[in-house]
Amino acid sequence: MLNGISIESFIAGFAYGGTTVLVGQPLETLKTLTQVSTTTSPNMLTTAKQLYSTSGIRGFYRGGTPLLLGGGLMRSAQFGFYQSVLPVLDTKFGKRDPQTYWLGCINPHVVAAGWAGGIGRGLVEGPFEMVKVRRQVVSDWKFADVTKGFGVTVFRNSFLFSSFVIYMDVLKQQLARYDMTLSPFFTAGICSNLAWLTVWPFDVVKTKKQSGKFEGRSVMWLLRDTVRTGDMYRGLSVGLVRSFFANGISMEVYTRVEKELKIVFNDR
């Protein structure tokens, strides 16, 4: 911690993001292709076979280069902002008594810090995500397109990351009640999937907006069309498989890196 800024969390977050891309990119590509597919009921195996037949193994990592850099930076922002804002709220307003938690289990400070982390991630991720999506669906783009879907990306990430840390905090409370523990892998895997279930329709809209296949359509039009056509949870199965393993493994890396960095910084 340096002047209230959690440097170790920013660095550990970068390691988390890089790991997420390396582990989850093939399934991320399948998720994107499924979400923008014009097929009535696309499935993961059919999409994977088609991608392999046209592009081979390299096709599964299409769009991975911009996301490898962006993934590290955006996760660095989300965890760094979160871990920096949370203690500020606790110091300024005092730690919340569990008796005052919303619904008896939701800490308002965690919610606010989670939104701050999500906004930080969204501000970084927007351009990288647009380039990734265009490369995954093999659609042309120009520099002026990097802001396409920026607003919905920031909103989705704010909702996503705040949901993630809320589920993490609630799970921690419940485990403590029964004197139980869960590894970082399973904790992050479970909570990330719950968070994605919470915001998935917005992710479908974001992907469609950034794909270049729905030019001239507003976010609200895409949202209404997604609901009308029953596509609100399109690509969910492959997305949850990717989320569980990629975030679970990444949290193990994050926990180890943050622990080692805290030792280094405290020794100075």
DSSP of 7-71, one letter per residue? HHHHHHHHHHHHHHHHHHHHHHHHHHHHHH--SSS--HHHHHHHHHHHHTGGGGGTTHHHHHHHH
Whether residue 63 has pLDDT greater than 80: no
Please tell me the predicted confidence (pLDDT) of residue 167. 98
- Whether 42 shows a pLDDT value over 80: the answer reads no
User: What was the pLDDT predicted at 136?
Assistant: 85
**pLDDT over 70 for what percent of the chain?**
97
- pLDDT tens-place string over residues 76-107: 999 999 999 999 999 999 999 999 999 999 99
Q: For residues 127 and 118, what is the distance between their CA atoms, to the nearest angstrom?
A: 15
For residue 30, the one-letter residue type is L
pLDDT digits (tens, 9 = 90+) for 214-242: 989 999 999 999 999 999 999 999 999 99
The answer to whether 124 and 73 are in contact (CB under 8 A) is: yes
Cβ–Cβ < 8 Å for 81, 116: yes
Q: In whole angstroms, what is the distance from residue 163 CA to residue 23 CA?
A: 22
Sign, Cα dihedral of 74, 80, 85, 86: positive
Q: Supply 191's token pair.
A: 């909570």
Residue 8 has pLDDT above 70, yes or no: yes
pTM of the predicted model over 0.85: yes
Q: What is the pLDDT of residue 247?
A: 97
Contact at 8 Å (CB) between 141 and 131? yes
Take residue 74 and report the two structure tokens written for it: 């955006």
- Residue 28 structure tokens: 């991320």
Model confidence at 210, pLDDT cuts 50, 70, 90, reads very high
141-175 residue pLDDT tens: 888 888 888 999 999 999 999 999 999 999 999 99
Distance between CA atoms of 111 and 133, rounded to whole angstroms? Answer: 29
Number of neighbouring beta carbons within 10 Å of residue 123: 16
